[in-house]
Amino acid sequence: MGGQASVGFFSRLRWGVGSTALVIGLTAVAAYLIATGLEHNDALRLFSGGILAIVDIIIIVAKGLERITPMKPPSESLVGRSGVVVISIRPSKPGVVRVDNELWSAISDLEIKEGSRVIVVERQGLYVKVKPVSDKNIATDKA
């Protein structure tokens, strides 16, 4: 594959509550209309059920062909920039930092208090790894 990940058809679908409910609802109504149309020999119900089934298939195919653009991870240019901790960071729990008026999920090997100034030292996936600007920003109480 040459370093580029391939995503399967079903794993590409972004099914929210609304689109799931819509597809299930359309399927149920189409099935009901087709079944009752066959039972009562009613052309209008058969036609309506068929149209709904086609619309259902179009929605599923459109969701399958939808181009997924991944979130743009923090750029390498963030490395070396300073920011402020918005939500405290612990080694076991990521926090949030503000860098250049943007909020980023942040990790650190140290516990860093909210309001502390930090420097971005590297990028790890969608997280930025930070270190405190000075030692006084490191939380000392391990409550």
Q: Give the CATH number of the domain where residue 105 resides.
A: 2.40.50.140
Is the domain of 38 the same as that of 58?
yes
Query: Where in the sequence is the domain holding 83, given as residue range(s)?
Result: 76-137
| 47 shares its domain with 84 | no
Q: Is the pLDDT of residue 77 over 50?
A: yes
* pLDDT band of 141, cuts 50, 70, 90: very low
Mean pLDDT of the region 91-100: 92
> Whole-structure pTM over 0.85, yes or no?
no
98 found inside a domain: yes
Interacting residues of 69 by C-beta distance below 8 A, sequence separation 6+: none
How many domains would you assign to the chain?
2
> Whose structure tokens read 């929210």?
16
Does residue 142 belong to any structural domain of this protein? no
Q: What is the pLDDT of residue 67?
A: 66
In a domain, 1, yes or no: no
Element of type H or E holding 103: strand 102-107
Report the distance separating Cα 15 and Cα 66, nearest Å: 11
* Mean pLDDT across 115-127: 90
- Residue 75 confidence (pLDDT): 57
